[in-house]
Amino acid sequence: MATLSVVMTVYNGEKTILETVSSVCKQSYRDWELIIINNGSTDKTLQALQSLEDERIKIFSYPHVDLPTSLNRCISHATGEFLAFVDADDLWTSDKLELQLQALQQNPQAGVAYSWTSFIDEKGKLLAKGDPIFFQGHVLTNLLTSNFIASGSNPLIRLQAIKSVGFFDPKCGSCTDWDYWLRIAANWEFVVVPKYQVFYRQSSRSTSSKIEEMEKGCLFVVEKTFKTLPPKWQYLKNRSLATVYQYCTRKYLQNYNNCIDNLIKARQKLWTAIRLHPPILLQTNTQRLIAGLIKRWIKTELNLVVIK
């Protein structure tokens, strides 16, 4: 039985799956198993996976289901004392598992180790580095107001922490990972590896429907979480909601593509965020969003003038 289980669910990931698996296989820490759930792929994902010859890799195929349910299947197959999730299009540095495992072994009270995240495009080109985060110990307050873990490919989780919270909640949709980290943070400490070790692949374009789905899932998580928290935490709810709308603003601006509807939605989400938590105006991220919104709005107005 391996000390560490790396778990992955994949649906139609033929373009990136082998690169992601290679990223796992190149880890300096070697005592791992890789559990891959083929979630009803209809492309050549399964054929690509069948070309792998590492005996530590275990592949299971199931009919297609929602992401949380498929992640729960991953957990059910894992046998390690520690679990690391990785999305089928993300990448790791070679020391990711080694350093995170060291961090957990040196901090037995911690249930989660996380690292810093870089963002890459569909071709693997570096887009940006996420802000360095140093939250450690009891991080529930920080996590309530920002999913600083950034992606499902980031944390290494102690098995005891997994068992203490159970499975992912399918009702949370595409925000199921944030809900899961919050549930763990309510009872376990977190520890950070202050190094960029995760490469989170960004889609070149998200449809409005996907952004709306993400918003719906995040709002559900906020409502669900604060229903379970004692009164002393309730003052953070509006700030948490504002962060969700701030995130939606950024996604609509990223997918502007001269679409006036996306610009209008971005303005609406930003105004909602500010109304819910006015201090958010002081954040650099919010000021950048305002500048981006103004810039695109002027561009749109100029385009309309030219058309006329």
- Sequence-distant (≥ 6) Cβ neighbours of residue 49 within 8 angstroms: 10, 17, 21, 36, 38, 59
* pLDDT for residue 308 is more than 50: no
Distance CA 247, CA 267 (A): 12
Percent of the chain with pLDDT over 90: 88
CB 28 within 8 A of CB 95: yes
Bridge partners, residue 198, by sequence: 92, 117
Nearest to 115 by CA among 151, 72, 83, 70: 151
Percent of the chain with pLDDT over 70: 96
Structure tokens at 135: 């939250």
**Tens digit of each residue's pLDDT (9 = 90 or more) over 15-60:** 999 999 999 999 999 999 999 999 999 999 999 999 999 999 999 9
* pLDDT for residue 302 is more than 50: yes
* pLDDT for residue 62 is more than 90: yes
**Tens digit of each residue's pLDDT (9 = 90 or more) over 92-103:** 999 999 999 999
pLDDT for res 1? 75
At how many degrees (to 10) do helices 237-254 and 284-307 cross?
40
Structure tokens at 307: 């058309």
In CATH, which superfamily holds the domain spanning 4-201? Spore Coat Polysaccharide Biosynthesis Protein SpsA; Chain A (3.90.550.10)
> Greater confidence, 151 or 299?
151
- Confidence bin at 64 (pLDDT 50/70/90): very high
* pLDDT for residue 163 is more than 80: yes
**Tens digit of each residue's pLDDT (9 = 90 or more) over 199-208:** 999 876 556 6
Structure tokens at 218: 């995040």
**Tens digit of each residue's pLDDT (9 = 90 or more) over 207-235:** 667 899 999 999 999 999 999 999 999 99
User: What's the mean pLDDT when you consider all of the chain?
Assistant: 93
Q: For CATH 3.90.550.10, list the domain ranges present in the chain.
A: 4-201
* pLDDT for residue 306 is more than 50: no
